[in-house]
């Protein structure tokens, strides 16, 4: 397909891309600075990571969190879907699978903002009529020529009318989130601020309740009618820190998203045994499992 003419000469490393193309309201949360097509279904995306971030940089400003890589790759796929595959801006993306493996040694914070580059390759591109209906893409993140991460992502794209049917009339205006329960001690989940703690105690050490604070400026950068995937991945991250408090930190995620998690019903995060240093995290709501994530950990 021909890309929109007004997007053909997008700037590189001079400004962020339009925030609408990565589904962000805040320019400060927009991590991409440009892109170009390098082949059939193949693209290069330029990135800038800030040296400090309230959620995705360590409190001592020494290391980027792997979930910053996840958010960057998510934004890159969203950007390319809109800018190169002409998905309208009013369409919704439904995340199905997200797998990422990071190299902890390449996530250090330097004296200048990091400027990685991502190579994206879209495969299994499906259309409904002339519109992109879904795809899978791989992402390879390099920083100064060294591998930072590899990722594999699958998603579908739906228009406004289909999304309204999927959501059964739910919208940010009609759904009220439950009161937020008290959180775990921040240090227990490697956080500093109580507002960044997304797990609450239940009396069962292998089960936590998800804290859904719709006022959080990163997870809820804009109003939503469901729990965002990045909040679920942060829950998996914090659950893994509870299970591996011995210096093992999350470095890899393999998440499956089965359905939407609703704001107005309790959500439970179960921490199950994994293989070796892996931790299996399962999200349930009512009688349904809506989220599964295998978290890989390693010594930083």
The pLDDT-based confidence of 130 (bands split at 50, 70, 90) is confident
pLDDT of 95 higher than 60 = yes
Q: What's the confidence (pLDDT) of residue 78?
A: 98
Q: What's the confidence (pLDDT) of residue 5?
A: 35
**Across 231-238, average pLDDT:** 98
The pLDDT-based confidence of 237 (bands split at 50, 70, 90) is very high
**Across 134-138, average pLDDT:** 98
The pLDDT-based confidence of 246 (bands split at 50, 70, 90) is confident
**Across 129-156, average pLDDT:** 97
Q: Which of 273, 262, 264, 215 is nearest to 239 (CA)?
A: 273
> Strand, coil or helix: what is 241?
helix
Q: Kindly compute the dihedral angle of the four CA atoms of residues 195, 47, 255, 165, in this order, to the nearest 10 degrees.
A: 80
**Across 265-287, average pLDDT:** 92
Q: What's the confidence (pLDDT) of residue 11?
A: 46
Q: What are the Cα distances from residue 263, in Å, to 48, 77, 153, 177, 225? A: 32, 26, 24, 5, 7
Q: What's the confidence (pLDDT) of residue 210?
A: 99
Q: Which of 143, 268, 160 is nearest to 212 (CA)?
A: 268
Higher per-residue confidence, 59 vs 30: 30
Q: What's the confidence (pLDDT) of residue 8?
A: 43
Q: What's the confidence (pLDDT) of residue 247?
A: 77
Which backbone phi and psi does 108 adopt, to 5 degrees?
A: -75, 150
- Answer for the pair 101, 149: CB distance below 8 angstroms, yes or no: yes
**Across 280-291, average pLDDT:** 98
- The DSSP letter of residue 61 is S
Q: Which two tokens stand for residue 211?
A: 């804290």
Q: What's the confidence (pLDDT) of residue 14?
A: 72
pLDDT of 222 higher than 80 = yes
pLDDT of 249 higher than 70 = yes
H-assigned helices in the chain: 66-83, 160-167, 229-243
The pLDDT-based confidence of 7 (bands split at 50, 70, 90) is very low
Q: What's the confidence (pLDDT) of residue 48?
A: 97
> Strand, coil or helix: what is 31?
coil
Task: Name the strands in the sheet holding 207-210, side by side, starting at the edge strand that comes first in the sequence.
Answer: 32-39, 42-47, 117-128, 131-143, 146-158, 92-102, 248-257, 288-299, 279-285, 268-273, 207-210, 199-200
């Amino acid at each position: 397909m021909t890309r929109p003419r007004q997007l053909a000469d997008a700037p590189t490393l001079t400004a962020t891309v339009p925030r609408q193309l990565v589904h962000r309201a805040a320019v400060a949360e927009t991590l991409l600075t440009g892109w170009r097509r390098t082949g059939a279904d193949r693209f290069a995306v330029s990135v800038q990571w800030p040296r400090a971030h309230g959620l995705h940089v360590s409190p001592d400003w020494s290391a980027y969190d792997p979930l910053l890589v996840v958010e960057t790759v998510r934004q890159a796929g969203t950007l390319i879907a809109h800018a190169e595959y002409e998905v309208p801006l009013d369409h919704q993306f439904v995340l199905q699978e997200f797998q990422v493996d990071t190299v902890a040694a390449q996530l250090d914070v330097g004296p200048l903002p990091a400027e990685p580059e991502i190579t994206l390759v879209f495969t299994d591109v499906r259309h409904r009529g002339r519109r992109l209906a879904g795809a899978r893409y791989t992402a390879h993140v390099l920083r100064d020529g060294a591998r930072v991460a590899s990722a594999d992502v699958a998603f579908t794209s739906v228009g406004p009318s289909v999304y309204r049917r999927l959501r059964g009339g739910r919208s940010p205006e009609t759904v009220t989130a439950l009161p937020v329960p008290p959180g775990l001690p921040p240090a227990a989940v490697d956080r500093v601020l109580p507002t960044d703690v997304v797990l609450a105690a239940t009396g069962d050490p292998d089960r936590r309740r998800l804290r859904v604070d719709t006022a959080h400026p990163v997870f809820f950068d804009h109003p939503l009618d469901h729990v965002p995937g990045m909040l679920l991945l942060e829950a998996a991250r914090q659950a893994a820190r509870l299970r591996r408090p011995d210096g093992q930190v999350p470095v890899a995620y393999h998440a499956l998203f089965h359905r939407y998690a609703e704001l107005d019903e309790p959500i439970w995060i179960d921490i199950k045994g994994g293989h070796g240093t892996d931790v299996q995290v399962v999200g349930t709501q009512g009688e349904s499992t809506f989220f599964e994530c295998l978290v890989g950990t390693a010594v930083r």
